[in-house]
Amino acid sequence: MSTRALTVPEIAFIAGTRGMLGAGIGLLLSARLTSAQRQAVGWTLVVAGAVTTIPAAFAVFGRSMQDQRRVVHAIAE
């Protein structure tokens, strides 16, 4: 099992993107709004949540790859 250290802003960003995605899916399944309103707001939140997942994934997983490269370069030198 690997361990990753995250800062508080990174955790907040990840939680926010998950929240947008969940809220969008919830609105798509909800019956409180008209169909047109629900679809417009729901799809907007789903897309925003999905699109912001990409930078979050790079922030978490991309950093570990950069750290590994630094270690390899340090060992090679």
For residue 40, pLDDT beyond 80: yes
Q: What is the mean pLDDT of residues 36-48?
A: 84
The token duo for 75 is 């060992």
Q: What are the boundaries of each domain within the chain?
A: 8-76
Mean pLDDT of 26-55: 81
**Share of residues in the chain with pLDDT > 90 (%):** 0
pTM of the predicted protein model: 0.49
| pLDDT one-digit tens code per residue, 4-35 | 777 888 888 888 888 888 888 887 777 777 88
The tokens for 26 are: 């919830």
User: HEC profile for 5-57?
Assistant: CCCHHHHHHHHHHHHHHHHHHHHHHCCCCCHHHHHHHHHHHHHHHHHHHHHHH
